[in-house]
Amino acid sequence: MAVTIRELSKRCGLSISTVSKALNGYTDISEATREAVTQAAKEIGYYPNSHARALKTKRSYNLGVLFVDDRQSGLTHAFFSFVLESFKKEAERNGYDITFISHNMGESTMTYLEHCHYREVDGVCIACINFLEPEIAQLVNSELPIVTIDHLFNNRTCIQSNNIVGIQMLVEHVYNRGHRKVAYIHGPKSAVTDTRLGSFYRTANALQLEIPDEYIEECEYNEPSSVYRATRRLLALKNRPTCIFVSDDYAALGAYEAVSDMGLTIPGDISVVGYDGIPMMQLMKPRLTTIRQDTGRIGAEAARKLVALIESPKTAIPEIMVIPCTLLEGETVRALTPPADPGL
Amino acid sequence: MAVTIRELSKRCGLSISTVSKALNGYTDISEATREAVTQAAKEIGYYPNSHARALKTKRSYNLGVLFVDDRQSGLTHAFFSFVLESFKKEAERNGYDITFISHNMGESTMTYLEHCHYREVDGVCIACINFLEPEIAQLVNSELPIVTIDHLFNNRTCIQSNNIVGIQMLVEHVYNRGHRKVAYIHGPKSAVTDTRLGSFYRTANALQLEIPDEYIEECEYNEPSSVYRATRRLLALKNRPTCIFVSDDYAALGAYEAVSDMGLTIPGDISVVGYDGIPMMQLMKPRLTTIRQDTGRIGAEAARKLVALIESPKTAIPEIMVIPCTLLEGETVRALTPPADPGL
DNA sequence: GCTTCGAACTACATCGTTTTCGTCTTCCTA
DNA sequence: TAGGAAGACGAAAACGATGTAGTTCGAAGC
């Protein structure tokens, strides 16, 4: 139904080859005919059929996106949807569509890599996944251009949010407001979690904050109910913390609920900070103090780097790009006057 | 890099044609060779190249998704992301990938229809869009299989959430709890808005509720700030309503904020109801009373109907499918004892 | 023994592009 | 004037699949 290059060539009175070359910037075509061809192409709305082109050139102008979080929230993931949106926008700006990579297509099951080959995607962006799965390893060890988000692989480009500084800023922030008893409900084991937890301990250490083991709880990312339970446990401690770090903004809703259910208030009885900076939590009462990850840049840079790897494989070298984040000061951290630090 | 049918045919000692036919269920292939071929295919992980196949068969096993809301929220749209997620799952179950249709690919601008032709999508799902755009009309008038969500086109399959009953349930609910002064902050003009507003008036009428014009405000969907402003206007009225209907759940956050900013409380001073039933608002304090739209079924049915239109064009006829919704009773509607109705 | 037939397989054209390698002018130079 | 270079275009072979139209071969029919 769509118009093909044959019709265009008929219309121009030129051979198919000439038309193709005119459109693809070959130099052995006179300016006059190039003009005529592009003009005619515009008039009849000609676009080269992507499949025919992909078949010939091995380039599909499709980027694979692989995102599978533990909770299977998929596209509804509060944080990731922002990253994906900007990734998509930047990809489109470069002429790429995106394809979600999964391993259950119809009857058959294909591995991620097989799906990538099947659709012949030009590159893949991997995010928020269980990076230890063997299928991921198969993909990462393939010849495909790959950009990962927040997880570093050998010799692969990675876009990282600056989790070290992010957590550091948060710890310092609550410290400066007088908090000395700080708990952390962190996510399940992963590169991101490790980094954040490491930075948490390190910063606490530098500030001579003692973190008892009972202040460290584990939860699922993006899962308010698991944070709810962890929060209740923390609030039930004899030596109750004055401030709780929560794995992520969305899950922090669980903390809000737990505090409220126990008849307490934020920040009156307990301070809470999140991580991500999704818009929704800035509309809460009280507004959440958190770290805003620059999802716009993370997604866009991921797309940009991936396109660079695809289009200029010689010059584009694997690199680690760290995206800065910012502290969003909300209303969930109470200022204390710590008796132990009269000198401040 | 991926394995082709040629290698598979070599491996089996058969011609390419035979292998193809064996895999595609042709009957002039002996069971023995079919077995051998499928077995070998599995072993070396053969999948037919999607582009080659699409080129030949005119079927890409790709579904286009067109979603552009007024706010350009894209994939971050709280409600739509749930619909999309289930659409995607069901599409994949049927062997289809999805492709986002947009009109800014790289340098050039293509119409939605051109993008569909370019990628040769087998069908399109259109949702939440400004259905009056000429580009949409061009798409809808094309020969492509199309399913729309919540907007009815001539002779096109449409999946509709039951907005009439949804609003009706809400009105009756607040009525039964004694509310007689009910305001509605509705979204911008569209099919959905018209339906809901119509049902609102009709149900109010049936219950002999009078709705003064000043109780009807307009806002943007999914935009808390516009609801914030509208809520403040309503609360500033001399004849203040006792209950406010808000366009959608997410935007209802604006109402929460406005009420709180004016030193009032929900539901103590004013009752609020939303629409959509997104999980997040069920974690709020107070929990939002709202209508839960069955995003799981909406998305899945859209995909299912679209696949049916594609694969069985003879038997699949355009139809309107109405998906039921349910009332989620939260904590934002206060029970009043209306002096005017002592008889109840 | 020769034709006929059906089962099982293969050759080949085709889909819409890109791209290599020609071909044909025209023009310049020795 | 022959020869070559340069400029502008076209023919045809891919790319990896599908599907039509054969081909082959053994068995059956007469």
By C1' distance from the Cα of B57, the closest nucleotide is D18
Instruction: Report the phi/psi class of residue A30: left, alpha or beta, with left for phi > 0 and alpha for psi in -120 to 50.
Output: beta
Residues A216, A186: contact at Cβ < 8 Å? yes
Instruction: Report the SS3 class of residue B100.
Output: strand
Q: Which residues contact A27 (CB under 8 A, 6 or more apart)?
A: none
Are A257 and B120 inside 8 Å of each other by CB?
no
Question: Nearest-CA distance from B111 to chain A in Å?
Answer: 9
By C1' distance from the Cα of A48, the closest nucleotide is C17
Nearest-Cα residue of chain A relative to residue B59: A51
Closest in B47, B92, B107 to A118, CB measured: B47
Burial class (CB in 10 A: 0-12, 13-18, 19+), B242: buried
Q: Distance, angstroms, CA A19 to C1' C21?
A: 17
Beta strands in chain A (DSSP E): 62-67, 97-100, 123-127, 146-149, 157-161, 182-186, 216-218, 243-246, 271-273, 290-292, 320-323, 326-328
By C1' distance from the Cα of A7, the closest nucleotide is C16
Q: Which residues contact B92 (CB under 8 A, 6 or more apart)?
A: A102, A104, A105, A106
Nearest-Cα residue of chain A relative to residue B260: A285
What's chain B's Rg over C-alpha atoms? 26
Instruction: Report the SS3 class of residue B285.
Output: coil
Return per-residue pLDDT of chain A as tens, 344 residues.
689 999 999 999 999 999 999 999 999 899 999 999 999 999 999 999 999 999 999 999 999 999 988 788 889 998 999 999 999 999 999 999 999 999 888 888 899 999 999 999 999 999 977 778 889 999 999 999 999 999 888 889 999 999 999 999 999 999 999 999 999 999 999 999 999 999 999 999 999 999 999 999 999 999 999 999 999 999 999 999 999 999 999 999 999 999 999 999 999 999 999 999 999 999 998 999 999 999 999 999 999 999 999 999 888 889 999 999 999 999 999 998 755 444 44
Q: Distance, angstroms, CA A40 to C1' C23?
A: 26
What is each CA distance from B111 to B125, B130, B138, in whole angstroms?
Answer: 16, 15, 9
Instruction: Report the SS3 class of residue B142.
Output: coil
Handedness of CA A305, A307, A309, A313 (dihedral sign): negative
Q: How far is Cα of residue A126 from the mean position of the Cα atoms in its chain?
A: 9
Q: Which residues contact B282 (CB under 8 A, 6 or more apart)?
A: B288, B328, B330
Nucleotides of C under 7 A from a protein CB: 7-12, 14-20, 22
Nearest-Cα residue of chain A relative to residue B95: A106
Burial class (CB in 10 A: 0-12, 13-18, 19+), A12: middle
Is the CB of A57 less than 7 A from some atom of nucleic acid strand C?
Answer: yes
Indicate yes or no: pTM above 0.75.
yes
Q: Which residues pair with B184 in a beta bridge?
A: B216, B245
Query: pLDDT at position A1, please?
Result: 66
Are B81 and A99 inside 8 Å of each other by CB?
no
Are B283 and A256 inside 8 Å of each other by CB?
yes
All residues of chain A having their beta carbon less than 8 Å from the beta carbon of residue B257 are: 283, 285
Are A111 and B45 inside 8 Å of each other by CB?
yes
All residues of chain A having their beta carbon less than 8 Å from the beta carbon of residue B92 are: 102, 104-106
Name the residue closest to D18, CA to C1'.
B56
Name the residue closest to C6, CA to C1'.
B28
By C1' distance from the Cα of A12, the closest nucleotide is D9
Nearest-Cα residue of chain B relative to residue A283: B253
The residue of B8, B75, B96, B112 whose CB has the most chain A CBs within 10 angstroms, and thus the best one to mutate to test that interface, is: B75
Q: Which two tokens stand for residue A25?
A: 């910037």
By C1' distance from the Cα of B20, the closest nucleotide is D18
Is the CB of B44 less than 7 A from some atom of nucleic acid strand D?
Answer: no
The Cα–Cα gap between A89 and A344 comes to 48
Q: Which two tokens stand for residue B187?
A: 């979204």
All residues of chain B having their beta carbon less than 8 Å from the beta carbon of residue A99 are: 97-99
The Cα–Cα gap between B254 and A7 comes to 55
Is the CB of A30 less than 7 A from some atom of nucleic acid strand C?
Answer: no
Q: Which pairing describes strands B271-273 and B243-246: parallel, antiparallel, or unpaired?
A: parallel
pLDDT digits (tens, 9 = 90+) for A56-103: 999 999 999 999 887 888 899 989 999 999 999 999 999 999 999 998
Residues 52-91/B with CB within 7 Å of nucleic chain C are 52, 55-56
All residues of chain A having their beta carbon less than 8 Å from the beta carbon of residue B57 are: none
Query: pLDDT at position A339, please?
Result: 52
Question: Nearest-CA distance from B239 to chain A in Å?
Answer: 27
Is the CB of B129 less than 7 A from some atom of nucleic acid strand D?
Answer: no
Query: pLDDT at position B339, please?
Result: 52
Residues 235-254/B with CB within 7 Å of nucleic chain D are none
The Cα–Cα gap between B296 and B274 comes to 19
Question: Nearest-CA distance from B98 to chain A in Å?
Answer: 7
Instruction: Report the phi/psi class of residue A308: left, alpha or beta, with left for phi > 0 and alpha for psi in -120 to 50.
Output: alpha
Residues of chain B with pLDDT under 50: 340-344
Query: pLDDT at position A344, please?
Result: 44
What is each CA distance from B46 to A108, A117, B23, in whole angstroms?
Answer: 12, 10, 11
Q: How far is Cα of residue B65 from the mean position of the Cα atoms in its chain?
A: 11
